[in-house]
Amino acid sequence: MKRPGIPHLGGARALVLHRAHADGAAVLRQLAAIGLSAEAAWPDLPADAMLADFVFFDADMACDEQMPWAPGEAPMPLIALIGTEAPGRVEWALRQRADAHLVKPVGNAGIYSALLIARQKFEERKALYREIDSLRGQVAERRTVVRAVLRLTERGQTEAEAFALLRRLAMDGQTTLEAAAARLLGDSDGGAGERSRRP
């Protein structure tokens, strides 16, 4: 019986970017025992790597050119296999935004925990990015409202009158205040957008 809150990993696909070595073999063995479909790859990930659910990578020997995505932009959770603590290699693994790590030599345990931690960290980061994008959008929309109010005050209206006009335009057009502000700014830029829509 599956415990609440613990995701089922069986059937997920994992890629192990590691040269032929006992560490890579240990990871593949544990992944198979957990129920994941796993395959090794070296020196490059396969063409369909973007569809994998997890990628393990050798933090000691891998490089940017082996990854089909920009550093820190993997579309799946990454798990670093770290054998050396050379600052440059650790820094490189951090730049990849590894969501979890395993210390080499890899033993007979640790893969399951690494998978769960990596998935949770990855989902948390994606949620954070979505929130940041949403907040940036809200800031941009508020700037549009401010610009529209300023444009109206330049024409002699008070701020209160300008804001009231924007609210009225939004209500009349059954749209948001931000959309009404964008429309007003477009119209006040000479009506080029409106004229381009006319036959």
Global pTM value:
0.70
Mean pLDDT score of the chain, rounded to an integer?
87
List, edge to edge, every strand of the sheet that includes 37-41. 37-41, 13-17, 54-58, 78-82, 100-103
Domain ranges within the chain, ordered by starting residue: 13-125, 138-190
| Segment among 20-29, 42-51, 63-72, 174-183 with least mean pLDDT | 174-183
pLDDT value of residue 6: 61
Whether the per-residue pLDDT at 111 is higher than 90: the answer is yes
Q: Summarize pLDDT for 81-110 with one digit per residue, the tens.
A: 999 889 999 999 999 999 999 999 998 889
pLDDT value of residue 4: 53
CA atoms within 13 A on the CB side of 89: 13
The percentage of the chain sitting over the pLDDT mark of 70, rounded to a whole number, equals 90
pLDDT value of residue 122: 94
Three-point CA angle 22, 24, 49, nearest 5°:
165
The residue with greater pLDDT, 194 or 130, is 130
pLDDT value of residue 134: 85
9, two tokens = 């990993």
What's the mean pLDDT in 126-146? 86
- CATH number of the structural domain 13-125: 3.40.50.2300
Whether the per-residue pLDDT at 54 is higher than 50: the answer is yes
Pick the CATH number of 138-190 from 1.10.8, 1.20.1070, 1.10.10, 1.25.40: 1.10.10
